[in-house]
């Protein structure tokens, strides 16, 4: 997360713990995941603190909220352009890098000026594939 953006962010011990948990986190945690982990150190912290912190981080573009898990919002501290692989069984999300540019014909743009795209790939992760084989044997 960019330090120049952090300066506008009022630091509390709880927010520092949330930032530390998110730093280099590749798990794409939900607010509940973050709360569950950080509340071990700060047991009196409210879930609202996590949501408020995430909202502020989103406003400062220090975290992205992913809408790829319909059951819960997931958060990605990696704000560089990238795409995702999502397991349809366990909902694991993996970052992938690469240019997956798509051409959208003028007729389909409906007057939109296209600024970019985000591609999500869905499948079954190796762990779930192994589990599926174990169940069938």
Domain range annotation of the chain: 3-76, 83-136
- Other CB atoms within 10 Å distance of the CB of residue 105: 6
Same fold, 3-76 and 83-136: no
Q: How far apart are CA 36 and CA 18, in angstroms?
A: 11
Give pLDDT, residue 11: 86
Kindly give, in sequence order, each residue whose CB lies less than 8 Å from that of residue 131, ignoring residues fewer than 6 positions away.
none
Does the pLDDT value for residue 134 go beyond 70? no
pTM of the model: 0.78
Q: How far apart are CA 13 and CA 65, in angstroms?
A: 23
Specify the CATH number of the domain 3-76.
1.10.10.10
pLDDT in tens, 22-62: 999 999 999 999 999 999 999 999 999 999 999 999 999 99
Band of residue 135 on the pLDDT scale cut at 50, 70, 90: low
Give pLDDT, residue 9: 67
Third-level CATH fold of 83-136: Dna Ligase; domain 1 (3.30.1490)
Nearest to 14 by CA among 31, 38, 34: 38
Which of helix, strand or coil describes residue 51? helix
Strands 74-76 and 83-87 come out as unpaired
Sign of CA dihedral 128, 73, 16, 9: positive
């Amino acid at each position: 997360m960019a330090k120049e953006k952090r300066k506008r962010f009022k630091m509390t011990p709880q927010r520092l713990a949330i930032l530390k948990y998110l730093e280099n986190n590749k798990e794409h945690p939900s607010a509940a995941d973050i709360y569950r982990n950080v509340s071990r150190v700060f047991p009196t912290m409210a879930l609202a603190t996590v949501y408020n912190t995430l909202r502020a981080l989103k406003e400062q573009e220090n975290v992205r909220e992913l809408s790829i898990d319909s059951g819960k919002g997931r958060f990605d501290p990696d704000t560089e352009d990238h795409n995702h692989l999502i397991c349809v069984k366990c909902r694991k999300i993996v970052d992938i890098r690469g240019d997956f540019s798509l051409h959208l014909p003028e007729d389909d743009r409906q007057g939109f000026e296209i600024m970019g795209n985000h591609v999500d790939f869905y499948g079954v992760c190796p762990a779930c594939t192994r589990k599926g084989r174990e169940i069938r044997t």
